[in-house]
Every structure is written in structure tokens, then in C-alpha cells.
Structure 1
């Protein structure tokens, strides 16, 4: 459950700006959803922000019972501010739970180690070099599918699971980390990257790789056409709608989108040379309703270029480096998003 109250200034992840109007309530309010919040406060208007404290449970690795439930945990409180926006009212109208629960599984990591890593990374100039540095620390992390919690019928939770990664959560965490210098800021950035306008709900989650270019455009840019030049092809997709008209993800509306990609048959050394260290790369798919089938990070080391990714292949099942050319040569193509310098 989330408690709403003005937290101590020392715990705030960012100060209130002069242009912000803060909801004046000083009383403690328990809310399960933005809908219930609106009912309790009644007068929220666009342009306001309000302080919020998110009580989380941090789960160490290996602490499980016979039922597989994690026994040992300790509380972690993250303080932040939520802006009252169009997305806020949309979720409030649907009365879907938001910020109801945060589930953090650190595995071999600790908050102190993550803080230290992020401080080190923040001193590295260049988005690509920082991404390469951070992602290297997650090599050999086991592959884990379906680690996120939330669906059309299940309330969304803000999940951090560093003990097991799939291809998308891997780049989620790395992108959030490259923009943070502390664990608290990492959580804040993760919400901004994974969810449109930072609203934690299933409908606001960026489910598709090209959602990043649409909704995280200030953080990444689509450089596919710039790299591919005349080799670039464009496909008109209706994301989330299968050939038979059904949906891949129930509760998520189908969305039309033009997807640029570079056919793998046209990728040569000249094109690979135009890739940057730290580029996020999606493996384009011809499947109706999907933009990519897999994602990873371009890593350039000396004369070699790798795809660093969370592999689900039976022989790997972990985060690995594979030669970029070898991996993509039998795939339909690639989509490339480049991190912006922030």
C-alpha cells in the first residue's frame, strides 16, 4: 500500500521547482489507486504535483520457502513526486492500481554496491561508454522470463529483479542506471523509462521496443535510417494485433506504427562501423503485430563488435556477448535506437 504525505526534504529525489504547485494536504492518506486518491482529495488539477512515499519490499536471493515464496525481506522507502497529467487522469478514471507495490529482488547485489556502481558510472563521459561499463557488470546473470508483474487482470507492480533478466528488462535496467547516480534515482528513472509519463500501470507500460522512440524520445533516438541509408526498409505495423485479429496482450490497444529496419542481408563492415558503442538494437521480425523479437546492446571492443544480450537459448540462458555479425546474419533485420547524451 502507498502512503501519501509530505516526506522530509532530505529524502526527496528532486526538489520542488518554482513552477510546480504542490497539493497542500499535510495529512497521511492511504491509497490503492489514483482513482481512490481523486475521490479522497476531490480537487486535483492538471499542473499540480504531490509528494508520495512508496514502501517497497527488498528480497535477498535464495530466501525461499517450500512454496517458493521469499521469506526474508526488509522495507525500503522511496520518496518522489507524481505530476498530475493527462495520463494521471486516464489511469484514475480506469481506477487501476498505481504505485500499489514495488517488488525488488537484488540477487547478488546490495543497495550499497549499486550506489557505488552508479557513482562510478556517472563519472564516465559518453552515453555509450557508460552503458558498456554498466552492462558488463551483468554478464553471466541468469536469464529469467516473465519477471514483471501486471496484466489486464493483475495489478501492475514496479519490479526490479537483478537476479534474473530477460532481453527487455536487461536494457530497461541499464538505461535507467546510466541516468542515475544512486539507487533511489535508479528507481525513479526506471519508472520514467518503463512507463509512459512515469505512471506505473499495465496500460502505461512500454511493451514494444519502438515504444521507446515514441515515448522516450528525449532519452533515445531512432538512428536506423541514418545508419542504413539507402538500405533501410520501412514496414507498416499494427502493433499487438495478430494476423487473425486477436491481440498478443489483452487490455493493450493495437497501435499503428511505421518501423524502419535494416535487412540483415545488407549489413556489411561499412554499416557496422556506423554503429556506436552502447546502441540499443532490436532484431526486426516479419511477424504481424510485433516490431522486434529480441533486443540487446552493441558493444565495441578493439576491432570486434558484439551484441550483449540476455539470451534465452538453451545453451546459454544468461547475459552473454556474441559477435554481432554472426548473431544477426540469419535474422530478418535490425532496428537501432541510440541513447542521447543527457
Structure 2
């Protein structure tokens, strides 16, 4: 049975307390979280990046399910039973940060997740969610949750021009039903497209592999017009090489790629490179 619970989320940010926001979850999600906390209780001294990887390992074979965040009303949805590529990486980082805080509770986890998923950590209808992953990287670098290390890895500017959501509103139920949000998304897309961001082109990934680390969260950039990225995952070192741990829509579960990242990327025709977010 699904519960909708208003949790009072207390978090000191610039001396202010966050207001209460609705959190939607099932009892099974809370149990999954408690199981992860129990499994990693001896790792509280590990780095956040190490905890991201350790958390990801706990979710191996979890079913891939798309669109789990979509609901009639925008609210913080917790679904640890079913993951897509973004929710997998996002939940792993939120859990890692919760453990690292020294207070691994469900309430602190929901606060961490909300801070990562929404612009300025505030839920203000559908457009307040960080839909474009370059925007997710930018905003979470601003709030200190991650560092965008892409430029230091490879100083190659990315041709950032996004407008897919506003030009394809029929592909998004919420936009299709609310034309005012299309205009809001246009403004958000315009702001994103003004930014200077960087990427590591596919052909350079193997060359800079020694600068990539386990626990890095990557977005895979795309040649699809109007989009910035089409896939997200967590890097993990396997036998001395960097591989991708991700929720795979092809294999329909969370897996670690059989081939190193550089080879994995060459398997997607629209893949152009990666952006790198370091916890």
C-alpha cells in the first residue's frame, strides 16, 4: 500500500529551515533504504565517492523502470524498488551523502534527495525538477553536492543547446496538459543554453581514463538535437579499467558494463562523450 506522508524536513542551509514537502513512497522503499544503511554501517568513514559505489553495488539487478517520477502532482517520489538511469545515480548519491552525514535516517535521505533533484532544493511544480542532466550537474555543483571536473579532465567545450522538452511537449504528459509550463521550460532551456560547459569526446575517453575515478557520476552526451544527454551512470574500476554501473534499459536492470567505459560508449550511435560529476 502506498503512503503519502508529509515529513518535516529539517536542514540548516544558510541558517534557514526547509519547509515541509510531501513525500510519496511505499513501505518497501523504506525497508530497502534501511537494508542499505545496515549493509554499509561499517563504511561510514569511507569517502562519499566510495559510498556511492558501495551503494550502487547494493542495487545491482534492481529492475529498470522508466517514468517512476511522473505523477499528477509534483512531489518527492521515493522508489528504490524500480530505477531508471538518473534515479539510480541520484539515489546512490543521496544515500551516500546521508551516510556520510553521520545521521542515516529516512528523513535525512529524503532531504538529500530533494536537494539533488530540484532547483535550489524547492519543489515548485513540474518545471522545478532538474530534467536536463547538464542542469543537474550545474545546479548540484553550485550547491556543493558534486564538483563538475569535466573541464580539468578534458578542456573541450560542449555545444550546449537544449530545447527538446519545449519543442516536443506531447512527449511529456505534464507539458501536454499545461501550456504555461511549456513557456517556463523554454526560459529554463534558454538559461541552460547560455552556459559554457565541457565534455570528454568519445574518442578521448580512453586517453583520459586515468583521470576518471570510481564513484564519478557521468552523463553521456548525445547528438540528438535539442538534448544534452541521454544516459547517466556511475563509474567503477574493474580489473584496473573504468566501467559503467548503470540502470540499463536494454538489460532492464542495474548492471556493470562488461566492457570498459570507452568501449561501451562506442556502442551507441548518438553517444558523443561524457560530462563528469565528482562527489
Q: In structure 1, how many angstroms separate the alpha carbons of the residues matched to 2:13 and 2:237?
A: 42
Structure 1 residues without counterparts, runs of 5 or longer:
1-71, 86-97
Secondary structure of residue in 1 paired with 2:199 = strand
Structure 2 residues without counterparts, runs of 5 or longer:
15-19, 99-103, 176-180
Q: Which of 153, 167, 176 is the equivalent residue of 2:94?
A: 176
Q: Which of 203, 207, 232 is the equivalent residue of 1:265?
A: 203
Q: Deviations over 1:84-133 (max 9, x none)?
A: 99xxxxxxxxxxxx934523463694453244246444x13222211111
Q: Which of 224, 228, 232 is the equivalent residue of 2:150?
A: 224
Q: Which of 45, 49, 59 is the equivalent residue of 1:124?
A: 45
Secondary structure of residue in 2 paired with 1:216 = helix
Q: In structure 2, how many angstroms separate the alpha carbons of the residues matched to 1:278 and 1:83?
A: 26
1:267 to partner: Cα distance: 2.6
Matched with 1:30 is none
Query: Is the 2:218–2:234 Cα contact (8 Å) retained in structure 1?
Result: yes
RCO comparison, higher one (Cα < 8 Å, 6+)? 2
Q: In structure 1, how many angstroms separate the alpha carbons of the residues matched to 2:88 and 2:27?
A: 14
More helix by share: 2
Q: Which of 239, 251, 254 is the equivalent residue of 1:319?
A: 254
What TM-score do you get using the length of structure 2 for normalisation? Answer: 0.78
Query: Is the 2:64–2:83 Cα contact (8 Å) retained in structure 1?
Result: yes
What value does the CA root-mean-square deviation take over the aligned residues?
Answer: 2.7
Q: In structure 2, how many angstroms separate the alpha carbons of the residues matched to 1:109 and 1:235?
A: 42
Matched, 1:301 2:232: no
Matched, 1:160 2:97: no
> After TM superposition, where is structure 1 displaced by more than 6 Å over at least 4 residues in a row?
82-85
Q: In structure 1, how many angstroms separate the alpha carbons of the residues matched to 2:265 and 2:117?
A: 26
More strand by share: 1
Which protein is bigger by CA-based radius of gyration? 1
Secondary structure of residue in 1 paired with 2:213 = coil
Query: Is the 1:283–1:292 Cα contact (8 Å) retained in structure 2?
Result: yes
Secondary structure of residue in 2 paired with 1:298 = strand
Give the 5 Å matches for 1:1-342.
Answer: 72=1, 78-81=7-10, 99-100=21-22, 102-104=24-26, 106=28, 109-110=31-32, 112-117=34-39, 119-121=41-43, 123-150=44-71, 154-180=72-98, 181-200=104-123, 201-217=125-141, 218-229=144-155, 232-240=156-164, 245-247=167-169, 250=175, 251=181, 252-253=185-186, 254-255=189-190, 256=193, 257-268=195-206, 270-313=207-250, 316-322=251-257, 323=259, 324-330=261-267, 331-339=271-279
Q: In structure 2, how many angstroms separate the alpha carbons of the residues matched to 1:178 and 1:204?
A: 24
Secondary structure of residue in 2 paired with 1:133 = helix
